[in-house]
Amino acid sequence: MDQPNIPSQKTVPPALASHLAPLARYLERDDVLEICINRPGEVFVEDTVGGWEQIAAPELSYSFLQGFVATVGTFSRQQVNETTPLLSGSLPQGERIQIVCPPAVPAGAVSITIRKPAQRSFSLDDLLGQGMFAEVENAPTALSAEDAALLELHRAKDWRAFLHEAVLAKKNILVSGSTGSGKTTFSKALIPLIPAQERLLTIEDTVELELPQPNVVRMIYSKGGQGEAQVTVRDLLESALRMRPDRIFLQELRDASAFYYLRNVNTGHGGSITTIHAESAALAFEQLALLVKESDAGRDLKRNEIKDMLYQMVDVVVQITKTEAGRRVREVYFDPSRKLAQTS
């Protein structure tokens, strides 16, 4: 039988209680899972039934959110400022909170993600009775219907339909090409195909990606560590995992952070769209392998092990070339049979 899972209670300091008051109606609801503030004046609430709801909240002004961040920092004994703009902690009733402030987000924005703790704990028998094991499958021995349909579109060279369905299927797409070939332009053309109800997080050194979806957090790092904020791509990727993303976009794979990005993609946050400098789809995998080898975690991995991992994680490679006639897609890599053979 399920039992209440009540977190340890702490006294809520008056200043923190005052700043939590506008969110109390959501914190008190049993059906609410996540409460996210991406910018002043609005809040996104995810519940167990309807998914995300966007709610106007004019009381959440920028100055109010600054005070909120300061009180959470005091409560959790962490400094939050322009040098250390990230905070990960807990609230008095057991909620997890992740905060990202400028300059790691655009000026005038504050990202606050609150994850409520589970209200009940369940036994294995409870989970069995709820149908938890009703759809257990063995390792696949044939292509899924989804991959088979994509393969048909690929063979038919129906590229618009193929890319549209690949985005909807949350395939990881790598756009490859030389400098000035149009990689970012092509990436921007794919992003509007993502369903509007998804929560998207971007990690860029300059804000370039245009996202029409409403539930978006843009995070910014300084190339070469030259900015005031002492945050790296890896720091932002780790923060992103605590911010309830449906997809995480890294602007470009170009250094050892590629390993951590690919690791995040492999933790259930598929559907990424990113770019890399390479002259063909095959060389894109080679370049990725080199970047992984540059990382501390990937240094001791063998090259064939890395490439096997990459073929599992990257589903589609679109190769862009700049010609005298203009920018052209030269190659579209998609080989689900290779991935299947590696896991069978």
Neighbour count for residue 289 (Cβ, 10 Å) = 19
- Mean pLDDT score across all residues of the chain: 91
8-25 b/e with 16+ CB inside 10 Å = b? eeeeeeeebeebbebbee
pTM above 0.85, yes or no: yes
CA distance 177 to 157: 20
pLDDT tier, 262 (very low <50, low <70, confident <90, very high otherwise)? confident
What domains sit in the chain, N to C, each tagged with a CATH number?
Answer: 7-121 (3.30.450.90), 145-343 (3.40.50.300)
Summarize pLDDT for 287-303 with one digit per residue, the tens.
Answer: 999 999 988 888 888 88
Neighbour count for residue 68 (Cβ, 10 Å) = 23
Summarize pLDDT for 145-169 with one digit per residue, the tens.
Answer: 999 999 999 999 999 999 999 999 9
